[in-house]
Amino acid sequence: MKKTLVLFAFLLCGIAFTGKAQTVYASDKGEKYHTADCKLSGDAKDLKLGEAKKLGKTACGVCKPDEHLKDKTSQCTGKTADGTRCKRMTASPKGKCFQHKGA
């Protein structure tokens, strides 16, 4: 019984840590954080959700990152202008971020 309780406690801590370790995107000057494929993310850089909240940033009302953090995301399969793979993450079933959806 003790082993089960300890295992459950570790599992619960792991889930809580994973939520804070999620990657969101925010610019230095902006007040909001975004999902990787949000059209408003602009020149945003990636940071952890906990860090964004610590900086006083709130969730974007357009992409609603708090709702989408549960979505399974993967790296965009699109190519950038210089031929390298896009670094944005997307939850799109087609595997492309908003910039590469039409390409």
Neighbour tally for 62: CB within 10 Å = 13
Reply yes or no on whether the pLDDT at 28 is more than 50.
yes
* Cβ proximity of 90 and 97 under 8 Å: yes
**Tens digits of residue pLDDT in 5-23:** 565 555 555 544 444 468 8
Q: What is the pLDDT of residue 54?
A: 94
Which of the two residues, 9 and 63, has the higher pLDDT score? Answer: 63
Reply yes or no on whether the pLDDT at 36 is more than 50.
yes
Taking alpha carbons only, the member of 40, 27, 22 closest to residue 99 is 40
Confidence of residue 71 (pLDDT cuts 50, 70, 90): low
- CA gap 28, 35 in Å, rounded: 16
Q: What is the pLDDT of residue 18?
A: 44
Q: Residue 35 class from Cβ within 10 Å (0-12 exposed, 13-18 middle, 19+ buried)?
A: buried
pTM of the model: 0.52
Q: What is the pLDDT of residue 102?
A: 74
Q: What is the pLDDT of residue 63?
A: 87
